[in-house]
Structures are given as structure tokens and as C-alpha cells.
Structure 1
Amino acid sequence: MNPALPNTWDMENDNDRKRIPLKFTSKEYVQVLKQFDDANMKGKYTEIRRIERIQNERWFLQYSAHRGEFKQRFNDSSYEKSLFHGCTDVTVNSIINQNFNRAYAGVNGIVYGKGCYFAVSAGYSHSYATPNSLGERHMFLAKVLTGKSAIGNSSMNVPPAGYDSTTDGNNIFVTYHDAQAYAEYLIVYK
């Protein structure tokens, strides 16, 4: 096993992209569910269908390298946040395999810039998690390198010089580098 990968990862086969269903009794499952509920989701769902840990070695290592650069620039861990990203079920595999890709910026709007959108509130991201034919919604809990954020606007293709991301002020963050976020967990719910 590559020592740069999390020790919680299941490395039984050589597939470098995996969706690992978490047992609902596991500490990891309980922690992710608590983050989901604490982020304005209580009462917005009736059932958690599953929570999966995303294991994409390539994108995790790229994110880790980028995080190393942020670590050198910042004195504390405020540069990294756990944020939510709601999406359609059609988009899920694309994000797992290709990570959050700026080429799709603007599909759901560009109010704070032309990048990938993440929210502190899962309740906000819920509106972008459109139900599929089974009534299931999909939301990622991602690690995001927000760094220093500037107030964004729809004309921004990149953050201003000296900034790493754009924001609405405190709830929405927009990233502009593909290795600036990592899809850590997928929450499937009704």
C-alpha cells in the first residue's frame, strides 16, 4: 500500500477507483452522517440509502500534493474545509473518475465565478441533488482547499491575484483548480 494513502482505505485489489459502502454501524459512517445532519439536512430526507467512501488514488494524490503547497503558505488548517456538492446521479461516476472538473462550470449557474461550487450547508447543496427515477439524491462530502477567498462574481474565470477561491462570503465556495477538491464520500438518500 502506498504510504501516502489513508490507512482506512480498502486496498484488497489493484483497482485505483473504488466506491466502498460504509457499514452503518461504523464510526466513519456515523461521523459522515453527523456532518450531513449538522449541515442543515435534518428533515430534508427520509432515508439514507448508503454512504460510500470514494477511493481514487490518482485524484487523492494530486489533491494531497496541492494541499502540501497550501500547508506551506498557511499557518493553520483554515485553508481546508469539508464542504458539500449536490449533483444528479448521472454526474456521480464522472466526479468519481475525473474529480470535480471545471469544464462543466456553469451547468447550474456562475453567480460567484466560473468554477466548481461547494457549500458549507448540505441543505443548500440539496437543491442541486436532483432525484433520480428511484427518488434517490446524491451528494458528495468533499475536502476542499479554499485557502484565501475573495467575494466572487459571474465574470470571474479565476480568483483575483493573491486568492485561491471565490465565495459568497461564508456559505458557498468556488474553486478553479481541478486538484483543489477531493470527493471523499458519496451520500445517497431519499
Structure 2
Amino acid sequence: MVLQRTGDVTSSSCRCLDSWQWSPDLVVPGSTQPYVRVSLQPTADEYKTVESMFMASMASEGAVMQRIEKVENPNLLARYQSKKAALSERLSPECINEVQAFHGTTPDCVDGICKSSVIPYGKGAYFAWTAIRSHCYTEEDADGLRYMILSHVMLGYWTVGEPRPLKPGLPVILRGHHLTHGDSAIDQAHNPHVFVTWDQYQSYPSYVIVYRAPDCIHRQLSVQQEVMQAMKKWDKDAKKRARHSRRRKDTASCAIM
């Protein structure tokens, strides 16, 4: 997957919400429940697409799909589209970098996410490109079921490294070798695995995936640690480039003298 600063994500990885259809008649105006979760039929193309994305990394973990529910929340979707319009105006439509990514959660948090999206906590809201990474952050309910969210996420102007949004939403500023201020953070520029956002309306919880699977045996580093490590590597490489640049200047000065 390639994310762009001056263009959209590649067609092979762009799974945008523009082609995603919802049924507004399913949500009754004035209802105390602002959203509904509609179970998809296993024979539907939409079900098969989501299942394929999930099983691409979870089949080897012994995962068994139970059901896939489509989240119908028109108010939340409107806020997401409003945020998308704002990003489009500031960055241009080609630089929104909209992707679909997974978010592992606990059973008691599913309804809250469907109602208000993934609310940033700590250093942000975390998403993963593959389901296996998010699986390590799920827990079983009383019936042994696990829940994972597949969200549409707008990365906007991204930075590599530690999520430290002093002023999120502003263009990235280069200060020496250190990058700060962006719409999101990713773990690496080429084929990123982890995405961090700071605005809850930068993501929309499109689907709830309900499944069974064993505990994550080979528990990976937490996404916070991954991003922190990426930032340290970025900082180290940047310092190395700066030293190389200074040596080149010194060599050039000696040659002139």
C-alpha cells in the first residue's frame, strides 16, 4: 500500500466510502437508538468482501466467522462526510488518503463505537491494516464471541512516527529533522500497518465483525510501542542524513578554500 502526499492511495488499496451504500429508512427519525446494526447475508457480495479482508490474516489463527453487521448511523456518517469535505478543501480531494482499517475492541465498547465512532484516547485512535494486529486487542464475551470494527478512516496529511498532535489538522512543519503536526500518524511510509488519528469524525465504523478465535498467542508489540519505535528510527535516520549533509558542506568549503 502506498499513501500519497500529492495524490490518492493506489487503486488496489483504496476502499473508499463513496461506493458504500446505506439504507436511511432503517433508522427511524426521533428514535432513541441513533443507529442500527444490520446483519448481512453470507451470500451477499458485501459480506464476502469484508470476510475476505478479515480472513486474509485471520484464517491462520483459526478464526471462525459468526456474522457481519453493517452499521447504519446517518448522523455519524454526516459528520464523517463533513470532515471529509473540510479535508478536501484544505488538502485537495486527492490527498484525503481514505482507507479501510480494523479496530479490535471489547464487547462492552461496541455500541459506543457504533454510536460515536472510535473516540481517541491516550495518544489517539488506533487502527490496523490487517485484522491479525487488531485481534490482539479483543476480548471474549460470555458466549466466547469477539468483536472487531472495520472502519473507513481518512488519514489526510500523515506523519511518520510518534503520535504527538500539538496542533492536529495543520500542515506538517519541518523543524530541522523533526516532523510535527499532521492529521494522522503512521508507523512507516511504505506499506504502513498502523494508523493513528486524533479526530473521532475522521473515521466511520462501517462494519462490526463477530467471530470466534483463540487468544492471540504471539502477541505483537502494542501499536503505541510500534509507533514510538518508528519515530525513534525516523529521528535516527534524519540525524544521520543531517550529519552527512554537514560533511558534504564542509568538504565543499575546503575545496573552495
Instruction: Output the CA distance in 2 between the equivalents of 1:159 and 1:13.
Output: 33
Structure 1, unaligned runs of 5 or more: 107-113
Structure 1 partner of 2:143: 134
SS at match of 2:156: coil
CA distance in 2, matches of 1:154, 1:146: 13
Quick check: 1:37 aligned with 2:51?
A: no
How many residue pairs align between the two structures? 177
TM-score (norm 1): 0.83
Q: Which has the higher helix share?
A: 2
Residues of 2 paired with 1:179 and 1:97: CA distance? 12
Residue 76 (structure 1) aligned with residue 99 (structure 2): no
Distance 2:146 2:115 in 1: 19
Instruction: Give a deviation string over 1:15-40, Cα, whole Å, max 9, x none.
Output: 540000000111110111111123x2
Task: Give the match's secondary structure for 1:76.
Answer: helix
Q: Distance in 1 between matches of 2:45 and 2:104?
A: 23
Classify the secondary structure of the residue corresponding to 1:41. helix
Q: Considering only CA atoms, is the larger Rg found in Structure 1 or Structure 2? A: 2
The letter for the 2-side match of 1:177 is D
Structure 1 residue 149: deviation in Å? 1.3
Residues 150, 159 of structure 1: 8 Å contact kept: no
One of 190, 195, 205 as aligned partner of 1:173: 195
3-state SS, counterpart of residue 29 of structure 1: helix
- Aligned 1:1-190 pairs, distance under 5 A: 7-9=21-23, 11-12=25-26, 14=28, 15=31, 16-38=34-56, 40-72=57-89, 73-76=91-94, 79-102=97-120, 105-106=121-122, 114-153=123-162, 156=165, 159=168, 161-162=170-171, 163-169=182-188, 170-190=192-212
CA RMSD of aligned residues (A): 2.3
Distance 2:168 2:82 in 1: 20
Q: Structure 2-normalised TM-score? A: 0.63
Give the gaps of 5 or more residues in structure 2.
1-17, 172-181, 213-257
CA distance in 1, matches of 2:134, 2:67: 18
Q: Return the letter of the residue paired with 1:188.
A: V
Cα offset, 1:94, TM superposition = 0.8
Aligned CA distance change for structure 1 residues 183 and 76 (closer, same or farther; 3 Å)? same
- CA drift of 1:44 comes to 1.9
Superimposed CA distance per residue, residues 133-183 of structure 1 (whole angstroms, 9 cap, x where no aligned partner):
222111011000011211232655654841210121111111111110000
Assess if the C-alpha contact under 8 Å between 1:158 and 1:176 holds in 2. no
Query: 1:157 & 1:55 partners in 2: Cα distance?
Result: 33
Name which structure has the greater RCO, CA cutoff 8 Å, separation 6+: 1
> Offset at 1:186?
0.4
Q: Distance in 2 between matches of 1:74 and 1:84?
A: 26
Deviations 1:48-85 (A, max 9, x none): 11100001111101001111223332353661010000
